[in-house]
Amino acid sequence: MKGADAEDRAATYLLTLGREVLARNYRIPGGEIDLVTREVGGTLVFTEVRQRRQTRYGSAAESVTPRKLALMHRAALEYLTRELGRDDLPCRLEVLTIDGSAETGKIQLLDVEG
């Protein structure tokens, strides 16, 4: 499956940060969250994983569009209400990028504002 190797590496990386993985590939019609994790303090983090082997068409971070961020936000709200029964929990969105191969490329975490 395309992206599975990058998502596996991302999940492993987030575990090393002390997070608990709650869900992978959480899907709703029109949107998906690659990883849902919980930080030690309890904050939920919704993570989009982007990987680019080459920069010919831009970096992994540059591949995240405003539309993708809007769909991510919608899917995160749906997760909160459907899976946890409330939408007022501390949470945030982030993008984890891997530039290079999924196995050895450079990882970067980017917080998403708003």
pLDDT given at position 112: 87
Q: Which domains does the chain have, with CATH numbers?
A: 4-112 (3.40.1350.10)
pLDDT digits (tens, 9 = 90+) for 91-113: 999 999 999 998 999 999 999 87
pLDDT given at position 47: 97
Q: Are 103 and 5 in contact (CB under 8 A)?
A: yes
pLDDT digits (tens, 9 = 90+) for 12-70: 999 999 999 999 999 999 889 999 999 999 999 999 999 988 777 778 888 888 999 99
pLDDT given at position 1: 46
Distances (CA, A) of 34 to 1, 43, 51, 56: 13, 17, 12, 24
pTM of the model: 0.91
79: number of Cβ within 10 Å? 21
